[in-house]
A and B are shown apart, each in its own frame.
Chain A
Amino acid sequence: ENSPAPLPERAIYGFALFLGSWFGFILYLIWAYIPETWLFSLGLTYWPQKYWAVALPVYLLVAVGIGYILLFGMNMMSTAPLNSTDTITDNFAKKQQQKKFQEEAIPALRDIPISEVNRMFFLPEKGLCQSR
């Protein structure tokens, strides 16, 4: 039911949005460019100030530019600092179950504690994994 395939209803919605956005754009251009006296002479007097015809696009573009910087900054702020335990473990790893080791079976997936990982990487023992 929720497939993204094209349907007749979606085509109609799309076309209605297309016409609506063109209409809105032409209305915006009319309001911005035609002098106020001509609009008054037609009887249409209740428009917003023309100042906003320039101000709103400028606000929008500045907001987009600040959004880039804001996103970058929020990313940096939510990175865990070097002295937090979030770099070592988290709630899921603390509460994981320890499955029993079975012979000839693939070991279950689990979070290996960092002390064990370090010993495996950095303390070479005389074993099977000597690659030199």
Chain B
Amino acid sequence: MAEERRFRSASGVPITLRRRQHSASCRELAVRGPRLQLRSLSAATSAVWLAAYGLFALSENSMVLSAAIFITLIGLMIYLHFVKIDQESLLVIGSLGIQVTSSYASGKESTVFIEMGQVKDVVINEAIHMQKVIYYLCILLQDPEDPQGISEVVPLFQSSKPRLDCLIEVYKSCQEILEQRKTAPQSNEIK
């Protein structure tokens, strides 16, 4: 079963949260940001080409125009492949682990898997980020020596930065699955 809701990101752009329940202990939460808009692409391309034409008018060197075309093309490819993240998803499988996937606009996907033994908790933390205080969801990793300690913090949804209402939905879904591992017997420890 899947459901989709609209929210806003920290900077105000509309994002959607899609929640799918694959089984009783497996849930997938995907935050999808807006696609690359035609108007911003045209604005950036026109700005670069106008600047190049201005340079050409000053310097009478036609290499400036070809260089501008190359820069625009290569810049667009780099942006789509390395910078523009379309969808970030969180797959929580109780007793197995958590998988975080980022899908870029060019189709590339990068995934990180954290096994459940290392996960201490999934919490909503507040921190200072670029002159603002933002809420962000993060996975706390267990410290092997100290049962109360936290060895690492893995922030989630870094590029779409949902607001608190969306984060609360994701938090509640994750906690429902994480609570099951406290009540389930410790039968699957492989040492």
Do A and B belong to a common assembly?
A: yes
Interface, chain B (partner A; CB < 8 A)? 120-121, 123-125, 127-130, 136, 138, 140, 148-155, 158, 168, 171-172, 175
Other than the given A85-B151, A118-B121, A118-B124, 19 more pairs (CB < 8 A) read A76-B130, A79-B128, A80-B128, A82-B136, A82-B153, A83-B138, A85-B152, A88-B140, A88-B153, A114-B125, A115-B121, A115-B123, A115-B140, A119-B175, A121-B124, A122-B124, A122-B168, A122-B171, A123-B172
Is B153 in contact with A87, judged by CB distance below 8 angstroms?
Answer: yes
Q: Which residues of B contact A80 (CB under 8 A)?
A: 127-128
A114 touches B123 (CB 8 A): yes
Judge whether A84 is part of the interface by a CB distance below 8 angstroms. yes
Q: Are A85 and B150 in contact (CB under 8 A)?
A: yes
Given the complex, which residues of A lie within 8 Å of B153, measured CB to CB?
82-85, 87-88
Interface of B is mostly: strand
Q: Residues of A at under 8 Å CB distance from B?
A: 76, 79-80, 82-85, 87-89, 94, 113-115, 118-119, 121-123
CB <8 Å contact, A123 and B175 = yes
With beta carbons under 8 angstroms apart, the residue of B124, B150, B155, B171 that contacts A89 is B150
